[in-house]
Structures are given as structure tokens and as C-alpha cells.
């Protein structure tokens, strides 16, 4: 019998926790051919989240919980959950019922059939979100997909069900600054995208302020792209070209009209040119730095999806 681990990061979720648990219980009852474990990660909540979790875990042996010493962020919560999960399949869900548990049976079928390694979800609308926030979110996805080779899908939620191989691949990424949306894309594997219309939070408030989201997006760009490090090289090259054009312009002007302020054009051209050379220099340093940066991340060089060994024991039976 397969075991599905459900990871639920919770930060101040006292209003919705029991609602979520009851909804989950319904789905668990429906899917009687699989075993479940619910791993709640309390991310340093300041309300009654932890005491609710303690009670739940005493009452129901499916429930496990991990409680952090302070708020470390959702990324840390997801990592702790993934490390603790023992399941053959692992799903990540929000506690606020924005990720409908009713999708789980379909997701499980898709992954179990072996056709896909992962069933992920994407919301098609951003209804119920401030327009400015949607605008910046769209811009962010456009920019990061240009700058990075990890495929980062607009509107993708963290709600996904993965096979054990994919979870192990994600855990093999040891980097400290974790940007899961990028990591999920980076490890590859065959992903089926399920789409659904955005559901609003069942109760409680969103934990993401605009500023927090902005910082998160910057983290995403820095974790999955080194382009900003050598942008200055490109700028330097452009500035050098400008200096060259300026020099030609002043030379021709001096030939035709004479040179009323002697030395002035020379100084301008030299200044612009040197500015460009310095920018190129900074960009070169950036290129080396980007290599060092990637080396220190110590990411796996490749990830194997299957080999003939995966089929051995089934053929011997």
C-alpha cells in the first residue's frame, strides 16, 4: 500500500487549521486504498497553532508536527517537511484551503500511473488580489524566465504531488537560499499542470506583504540567474562605443569648424571611454564571481530519472 505524505506549512493559522484537517479527513476517507501521513510544520506561530497541532497529533496518529523555534519562512517549512516525509508520494499544501484537497485523488492517479512524476497546480486567475500586486507578479515572471534557464511558471502554486525520486532530487539541492518555484523547475521531471480558478482564503489573513513578496522575488532572481552580475559588462561595452562615436564627432567638427575650446573634447572622450572600460572590468569580475557562486551552491550536476535497475525486480518476479 502506498503512503502519501502531506506537508502543510503553517504560520498563525489557528482559524483554518481545524477546517483544513476536517476537509483532509474527508479526502483520506475517500482514498481508502492509500495510507496517509499529515506533517504540519509550525513556522514559529505566535497564536494557538501549535497547541491545536499538539492536540490533533495526540488524537490522530496520522498527524505529525514539527515546530520551529521562530519564524523561518515558508521555504524553510517546506524543506523541513520534505526531509521528514516518509511517503512514496509527497504533496505540499497550504493550510488555508486555497489548495483544494479534492484535487488529490486526481493528482495521485496521474503520478501513480507512471506517466508523470509530478502533478502540479497553477491558478488561471488572480482574482481577489490587488491589481498592482498582479501586475508586478506578471512582470516578475516575464523577467525571471528571460534571465534563468529553470522554467518558472506564472501562477504556479506550491501545491503539488511528487514521486519519491523527485523529492530526493529536491533534497539533493543543498543550497541555503531556497527558491522552491525555481528548484521544482530546475530538477526537471515530467510535470502535469492542473489548472484551477483561484480560491480565496478560508479564514485568517495572507502572510505576504508587498515588501515580503518583493524581497522574495529578488531572492528568486539571485538564486536562479547570474545575469545581473555581468550586466555592467554589456553597459561598459555600450559606453565605449559612445566614446568612440563622440571622438569621431568632435574630430569632424574640429576639422570643419575649428576647435574653439582646445582640449575639452579630448577630456570628454577620455572620461567616457575610461568609464566604459571600468564597467567592462566590473562585469568581468562579475563573470568569475558568478562561476564561484554556482560552484558554492554545490548543485547536483545531473539528475537521473530512471535506469535499467528500476525495472529489474519487477521483471524477476
Under the rule (CB under 6 A), what is the footprint of ligand UDP?
A: 9-11, 13, 43, 71, 73-74, 77, 94-96, 98, 206-208
H/E segment holding residue 89: strand 89-92
Does residue number 99 form part of the binding site for Mg ion (CB under 5 A)? no
Indicate the helix (H) or strand (E) that contains 6.
Answer: strand 3-10
CB of 220 to ligand UDP, least distance (A): 14
* Residue whose CB is less far from Mg ion, 21 or 224: 21
Nearer residue to ligand UDP within complex by CB, 15 or 259: 15
Distance between CA atoms of residues 32 and 296, nearest Å = 45
- What is the rounded CA–CA span in Å between residue 103 and residue 226? 37
Residue of 98, 148, 217, 233 interacting with Mg ion (CB under 5 A): 98
User: HSE (CB half, 13 Å, CA atoms) of 175?
Assistant: 24
Residue 180 binds: one of Mg ion, ligand UDP, none (C-beta under 5 to 8 A by kind):
none
137 vs 235, beta carbon nearer ligand UDP: 137
Helix or strand (DSSP H, E) at 119: strand 118-123
Residue 206 vs 298, nearer CB to ligand UDP: 206
Q: How far is the CB of 157 from Mg ion (least distance, A)?
A: 9
Helix H or strand E encompassing 122: strand 118-123
232 binds Mg ion (CB under 5 A): no
CB of 136 to ligand UDP, least distance (A): 14
Q: Half-sphere exposure (CA, 13 Å, Cβ side) for 50?
A: 12
Which residue number, 123 or 178, has a Cβ lying nearer to Mg ion?
A: 123
Q: Which stretch binds Mg ion (CB under 5 A): 6-14, 90-98, 177-185, 277-285?
A: 90-98
> CB of 115 within 8 A of CB of 30?
no
C-alpha cell at 51: 497547541
Beta bridge partners of 160: 92, 120
Question: How many angstroms separate the CA atoms of 261 and 254, rounded?
Answer: 10
Least CB distance from residue 95 to Mg ion, whole Å? Answer: 8
Rounded to a whole number of angstroms, the minimum distance from the CB of residue 206 to Mg ion is 6
Q: Does residue number 96 form part of the binding site for Mg ion (CB under 5 A)?
A: yes
Q: Which three cell numbers stand for residue 125?
A: 486567475
42 belongs to the binding site for Mg ion (CB under 5 A): no
Residue 13 interacting partner from ligand UDP, Mg ion, none (CB closer than 5 to 8 Å by kind): ligand UDP
Q: Is 121 in the site for Mg ion (CB under 5 A)?
A: no
Nearer to ligand UDP, 10 or 279 (CB): 10
Q: Residue 156 belongs to what H/E stretch?
A: strand 156-163
The answer to whether 91 and 107 are in contact (CB under 8 A) is: yes
Q: Which three cell numbers stand for residue 67?
A: 515546530
Residue 11 interacts with, from Mg ion, ligand UDP, none (CB under 5-8 Å by kind):
ligand UDP
**How many Å apart are CA 234 and CA 96, to the nearest integer?**
45
The site for Mg ion (CB under 5 A) is made up of 94, 96, 98
Amino acid at each position: 500500500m502506498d503512503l502519501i505524505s502531506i506537508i502543510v506549512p503553517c504560520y498563525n493559522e489557528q482559524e483554518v487549521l481545524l477546517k483544513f484537517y476536517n476537509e483532509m479527513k474527508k479526502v483520506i476517507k475517500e482514498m481508502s486504498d492509500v495510507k496517509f501521513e499529515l506533517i504540519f510544520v509550525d513556522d514559529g506561530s505566535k497564536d494557538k497553532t501549535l497547541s491545536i497541532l499538539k492536540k490533533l497529533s495526540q488524537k490522530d496518529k496520522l498527524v505529525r508536527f514539527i515546530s520551529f523555534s521562530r519564524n523561518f519562512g515558508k521555504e524553510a517549512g517546506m524543506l523541513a517537511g520534505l526531509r521528514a516525509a516518509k511517503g512514496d508520494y509527497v504533496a505540499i499544501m497550504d493550510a488555508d484551503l486555497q489548495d483544494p484537497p479534492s484535487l488529490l485523488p486526481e493528482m495521485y492517479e496521474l503520478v501513480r500511473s507512471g506517466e508523470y512524476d509530478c502533478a502540479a497546480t497553477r491558478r488561471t486567475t488572480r482574482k481577489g488580489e490587488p491589481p498592482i500586486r498582479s501586475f508586478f507578479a506578471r512582470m516578475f515572471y516575464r523577467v525571471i524566465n528571460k534571465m534563468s534557464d529553470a522554467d518558472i511558471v506564472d501562477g504556479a502554486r506550491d501545491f503539488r504531488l511528487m514521486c519519491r525520486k523527485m523529492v530526493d532530487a529536491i533534497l539533493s539541492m543543498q543550497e541555503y537560499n531556497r527558491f522552491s518555484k525555481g528548484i521544482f523547475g530546475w530538477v526537471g521531471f515530467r510535470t502535469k499542470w492542473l489548472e484551477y480558478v483561484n480560491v480565496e482564503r478560508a479564514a485568517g489573513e495572507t502572510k505576504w506583504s508587498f515588501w515580503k513578496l518583493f524581497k522574495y522575488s529578488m531572492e528568486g532572481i539571485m538564486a536562479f540567474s547570474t545575469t545581473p552580475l555581468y550586466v555592467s559588462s554589456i553597459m561598459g561595452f555600450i559606453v565605449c562605443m559612445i566614446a568612440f562615436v563622440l571622438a569621431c564627432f568632435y574630430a569632424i567638427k574640429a576639422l570643419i569648424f575649428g576647435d574653439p575650446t582646445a582640449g575639452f573634447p579630448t577630456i570628454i572622450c577620455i572620461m567616457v571611454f575610461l568609464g566604459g572600460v571600468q564597467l567592462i572590468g566590473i562585469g568581468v569580475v562579475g563573470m568569475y564571481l558568478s562561476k564561484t557562486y554556482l560552484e558554492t551552491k554545490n548543485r547536483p550536476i545531473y539528475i537521473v530519472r530512471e535506469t535499467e535497475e528500476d525495472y529489474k525486480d519487477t521483471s524477476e518476479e
